[in-house]
Chain A
């Protein structure tokens, strides 16, 4: 049972990270490899604000999330807009180029020494034989709060509906006069902000080092694909499930097999249910007819 709690914490962070990634995939139609470097940047800026400038963790987190959201908009305008008409292939590899440049910026700005958030774990609550720390509760709460806020935004505001229109059919949305540019900027802001938030959460639980982005891109990619590329709820569930699965599997098999299990299950799920875990209608584009 304790491991399920661990898994929910892991999974919440993964869900937040993957959501930002999946949003761009759904609206801009490419896999944005640079997303993981946005997470790394978030972890670093957060730790600098907290550790070096003594800022409160929540204030630092908020500044990081908003600041990197804005940076995401700028980067998309500089790097992705000019090649947007070239299609997903060119965008995908442009994002790899951008990821390398962001990685270089992190190395140059922050150096290679590992950094740690001062212990912000808070007190431990115990009930019914399991225990959970304050920061884990906060992470779970923030993750679900921000996901809920995103859902409200997408379903309850005009701009949000425009985003969904673009996600379901870019051309149609354009014809209908949806402000495509504004929508695109909104998407990049949200995506980058979610990436940054996941980065800060990762940093709070673990260590901050320059490789953190590369270490996390595979699992984000996996969660995004597992969740089905078109379903936000699917992505959230996939993130949670992957997290829980990795932590619960420790009880049954040697922990060294943990990554093998994660990827093995991923492969199995994809082959058995190629449309992702949630979608009811088999999606034709996922599998050869």
Chain B
């Protein structure tokens, strides 16, 4: 015991000795990227990282941030909250990051308090958790729609399509259950719709045949599916094989993957629509500039309208511009500058270089990203997320129309 304690003490002392002074205002600007590169979020990790790299390359191509090189420091959290806590500690205490991006809902909730204590400006580009609906805005900003919005828009789409009864197929995870629960509440309480069957299931089952049968054979007008795309593929293989293809489907955004589009597209007359997500693809220079670079990162073979990746890009452009605006990498100052550069008033800009030029000229800017105008409200959420109705056309996902959330639909209590 004594020896162990002595050893512990020694490790602590060596570590303390190794600690040199903070090189706050020189050296590269360090952007942390904490994300599930392995584990359950692993399948998304590659695309997310590619998008982040596109952004950092853009920052460096424009001369870096505050005249300093930008370094992207990647840390895998293994898709667990424990990994997020220890990964965040490593990023802040060992690597000395100035800002953070990339993290998912459960990890964000775990490090939320620490982010504030350490004053690390953090943009959440993959967390829809309803937990952040009212708690951000000081240090944490979210640039994707909340799961609340995703649930409401799903119900809105169901109503507009004229569906009166819906069966639900919901994977048991935070990211899929949150929008599904909102959908269910809004659809039944505010629209008078009925849920014929609410089937919840775990990821990683051998097959989903029984669950698919249960939902589709309850005679619904449509089936609402909230699942990750890995479970979505076997699920839809079942759907196709069993011949349920005449029943239309409503998906959550996690199912926006090319594999899913292929399966749905291969069936004549099948209908699958996704309400929500916020790809702002019409007349948007930021989006137009981003797409070919992202494709190149993926060896010319990107997912068509992949989910989340563009937000991974937007977040680092925002952070770069906020640092330029603040004139420092100091956390509090950068966080305070984030709404300034994202919101009006100001000259609308669509890239880091343009934004930098306007800032140098002494103008206010309003950055418009690849995914939306990125205007933020006082709790760090998107003020008016651009929602889109996306459907499968010719075996690919395509935006059918952009819509706004019906203001008469409210968040269920």
Query: Do A and B touch each other in the complex, judged by CB within 8 A?
Result: yes
B229 to chain A, nearest CB (A): 7
CB-based contact A250/B211 at 8 Å: yes
Q: Is A131's CB within 8 Å of the partner chain B?
A: yes
Q: Residues 200-240 of chain A: 1 if any B CB is under 8 Å from the residue's CB, otherwise 0?
A: 00100111011110011000000000000000000000000
Q: Is B362's CB within 8 Å of the partner chain A?
A: no
Q: Is A116's CB within 8 Å of the partner chain B?
A: yes
A residues in contact with B266, CB < 8 Å: 119
CB-based contact B206/A211 at 8 Å: no
Within 8 Å by CB of A256, from B40, B172, B229, lies B172
B16 to chain A, nearest CB (A): 32
CB-based contact A243/B210 at 8 Å: no
A134 to chain B, nearest CB (A): 10
B residues in contact with A215, CB < 8 Å: 203-204
Q: Is B409's CB within 8 Å of the partner chain A?
A: no
CB-based contact A259/B234 at 8 Å: no
CB-based contact B209/A9 at 8 Å: yes
Nearest chain B residue, comparing its CB with the CB of A210: B42
Q: Is B214's CB within 8 Å of the partner chain A?
A: yes
Nearest chain A residue, comparing its CB with the CB of B39: A211
Nearest chain B residue, comparing its CB with the CB of A248: B210
Within 8 Å by CB of B241, from A121, A250, A254, A256, lies A121
For window 172-222 of B, CB contacts with A under 8 Å fall at 172, 198-211, 213-214
Given A256-B172, A258-B201, A113:B43 Cβ within 8 A = yes
Q: Residues 237-276 of chain B: 1 if any A CB is under 8 Å from the residue's CB, otherwise 0?
A: 1001111000000000000000100010010000000000
Which has the most chain B C-beta neighbours within 10 Å: A207, A211, A248, A251?
A207
Within 8 Å by CB of A259, from B202, B209, B259, lies B202
Q: Is A186's CB within 8 Å of the partner chain B?
A: no
Q: Is A41's CB within 8 Å of the partner chain B?
A: no
For window 127-152 of A, CB contacts with B under 8 Å fall at 131, 133
Interface size on A, residues (CB 8 A): 40
A218 to chain B, nearest CB (A): 10
A258 to chain B, nearest CB (A): 7
CB-based contact B40/A211 at 8 Å: yes
Q: Residues 246-271 of chain A: 1 if any B CB is under 8 Å from the residue's CB, otherwise 0?
A: 11101100111011000000000000
Given A124-B243, A205-B234, A207-B234, A10:B206 Cβ within 8 A = yes
Query: Please, how many angstroms separate the alpha-carbon atoms of A216 and B202 in the complex?
Result: 13
Within 8 Å by CB of A255, from B210, B231, B240, B243, lies B210
Query: Please, how many angstroms separate the alpha-carbon atoms of A211 and B231 in the complex?
Result: 13
Query: Please, how many angstroms separate the alpha-carbon atoms of A78 and B405 in the complex?
Result: 61
CB-based contact A255/B234 at 8 Å: no
For window 14-70 of B, CB contacts with A under 8 Å fall at 37-40, 42-43, 45-46
A196 to chain B, nearest CB (A): 16
Which has the most chain A C-beta neighbours within 10 Å: B206, B211, B213, B214?
B206
B residues in contact with A13, CB < 8 Å: 206
Query: Please, how many angstroms separate the alpha-carbon atoms of A111 and B49 in the complex?
Result: 13
B175 to chain A, nearest CB (A): 16
Q: Is B233's CB within 8 Å of the partner chain A?
A: yes
CB-based contact A207/B231 at 8 Å: yes
A residues in contact with B172, CB < 8 Å: 256
CB-based contact A255/B42 at 8 Å: no
CB-based contact B230/A209 at 8 Å: yes
CB-based contact B233/A207 at 8 Å: yes
Chain B at the A interface: SS class: helix
CB-based contact B206/A255 at 8 Å: no
Nearest chain A residue, comparing its CB with the CB of B202: A259
Q: Is A112's CB within 8 Å of the partner chain B?
A: yes
Which has the most chain A C-beta neighbours within 10 Å: B203, B210, B211, B237?
B210
Q: Is A76's CB within 8 Å of the partner chain B?
A: no
Query: Please, how many angstroms separate the alpha-carbon atoms of A246 and B202 in the complex?
Result: 12
Within 8 Å by CB of B237, from A7, A112, A119, lies A119
A65 to chain B, nearest CB (A): 19
CB-based contact B207/A6 at 8 Å: yes
CB-based contact B214/A255 at 8 Å: yes
A residues in contact with B214, CB < 8 Å: 250-251, 255
For window 92-130 of A, CB contacts with B under 8 Å fall at 107, 111-114, 116, 119, 121, 124
CB-based contact B230/A210 at 8 Å: no
Given A119-B263, A255-B201, A111:B46 Cβ within 8 A = yes
A residues in contact with B211, CB < 8 Å: 250, 255
B227 to chain A, nearest CB (A): 11
Residues of B that sit less than 8 Å from A by CB = 37-40, 42-43, 45-46, 172, 198-211, 213-214, 229-231, 233-234, 237, 240-243, 259, 263, 266
- 10 closest A-B pairs by beta carbon, nearest first, are A112-B42, A215-B204, A256-B200, A6-B209, A206-B234, A114-B43, A250-B210, A247-B210, A207-B230, A114-B230
Provide a sorted-by-A list of 24 A–B residue pairs whose CB atoms are within 8 angstroms.
A6-B210, A9-B207, A10-B207, A13-B206, A111-B46, A112-B37, A116-B233, A119-B263, A119-B266, A121-B237, A124-B242, A205-B207, A206-B205, A206-B234, A207-B231, A207-B234, A211-B42, A215-B203, A247-B210, A254-B200, A256-B172, A256-B200, A256-B201, A258-B205
